Amino acid sequence: MSTTTKAPTASDSRTTSQSRAAQLLGDRRLPVLVTALLFLLMYGAGLSRYQNYGFAEPQVFLNLFIDNGYLLVAAVGATFVILSGGIDLSVGSVIGFTTMFTAWLVERQGLPILVVIPMALAVGALGGFLMGYVIHNFEIQPFIVTLAGLFLFRGLCLVISKESISIGDASVSSLAQAQVSLGGAFLSVGAIVALVVLLAAFYILHYTRFGRRVYAIGGNEQSALLMGLPQGGTKIAVYTVSGFCSALAGLLFTLYIQSGDPLHATGMELDAIAAVVIGGTLLTGGSGYVLGTLFGVLVLGLIKSIIQFEGTLSSWWTKIATGVLLCVFILIQRAMTTRKKT
């Protein structure tokens, strides 16, 4: 008795390819992998084009962390909020206020920097807590509440001083210039702090109850409520974390600039959100990885470095490139969310 085997048809091949494409789009790790691949391709292109200009030096790579440490910390805080399904527009203003608050206390009031640091962090965390409290208890959209926070903290900058305040304190200068040697290269204190914050955020989001609650509320708030998860406490906590991270980013930015200015970090909340989105976190919440945020920040920093090495391009090309990348990753997110609904 003989058996016959049906040969695969063109229709079967199309069905198989569509199934593979659907599986790929349904993989939550896809945006992170795309961002990591984009970073590697951009870095490889830089090595190829600027190999005679020192682009291959280890310090050039480490400078991505040194020059963008404050943005990484701010973006980590924004990741918590966006994962929960919210948004925080006050990030840049809190950073700017922290620079002014720190410079004013150190230069005008004569307080040591080690006393000012916990005060600045407490103010940032309190601001985030109050915004989260209003969002949850008064059921107001996060966009509106954090927009109010944006104007509030930017206004407080001008209350402190309308002019820039330079910091000449020796302890601040020594802290800003401190370096951790890594062979022939080095990392600044700000970069080390940013990496520690990243590792702490990774652990909290993936290995604690609080992290699982953040994902659950961002994925489906109604289902999380029915499961008995502390929705209100979690929402307030993520904005408190964002406020704390924004204040810490402000302290790192103060060390980087060594001054306070009412216009510092204007629009930086958009850079932080862009880094989170480019890093693969869905704006609708519930899906994303803090390591993706790291790659998002590195991509933005690498764009700046390439423009500097090119020498003939305006800094505005950074914004243009960021806008193009945002459009691409939003389209990827749209394809992923559409796949989930079907």
The pLDDT of residue 179 is 93
CA distances from 38 to 35, 79, 111 (A): 5, 20, 45
Q: Using DSSP, state whether 104 is helix, strand or coil.
A: helix
Cβ contact 160:99 at 8 Å = no
Which residue is it, tokens 């527009």? 89
Sign of CA dihedral 311, 312, 313, 315: positive
Cβ contact 253:99 at 8 Å = yes
Cβ contact 72:298 at 8 Å = no
Pairing of strands 179-182, 185-188: antiparallel
The pLDDT of residue 220 is 87
Our CA angle for 189, 120, 295, nearest 5°, is 45
Residue 214, CA atoms < 13 Å, CB-side half-sphere: 29
Tens of pLDDT, residue by residue, the chain (342 residues): 455 555 556 555 565 555 555 555 556 788 899 999 999 999 999 999 998 889 999 999 999 999 999 999 999 999 999 999 999 999 999 999 999 999 999 999 999 999 999 999 999 999 999 999 999 999 999 999 999 999 999 999 999 999 999 999 999 999 999 999 988 899 999 999 999 999 999 999 999 999 999 999 998 888 888 888 888 999 999 999 999 999 999 999 999 999 999 999 999 999 999 999 999 999 889 989 999 999 999 999 999 999 999 887 777 888 898 899 889 888 887 877 776 555
The pLDDT of residue 87 is 96
Give the closest residue to 71 by CA, choosing from 328, 319, 269, 292: 269
The pLDDT of residue 49 is 92
The pLDDT of residue 18 is 56
Q: Which amino acid is at 105?
A: L
Copy the structure tokens of residue 113.
Answer: 């920097």
Phi and psi of 100, rounded to 5°? Answer: -70, -45
State the Cα–Cα distance between residues 258 and 60, nearest whole angstrom: 22
Phi and psi of 102, rounded to 5°? Answer: -65, -45
Task: Output the pTM of the full model.
Answer: 0.91
The pLDDT of residue 260 is 95
**Helix, strand, coil percentages for the chain (3-state, nearest 5):** 75, 5, 20
Count of C-beta atoms within a 10 Å radius of residue 157: 23
State the Cα–Cα distance between residues 14 and 99, nearest whole angstrom: 58
Q: Which domains does the chain have, with CATH numbers?
A: 30-45+55-341 (1.10.3470)
Cβ contact 55:42 at 8 Å = no
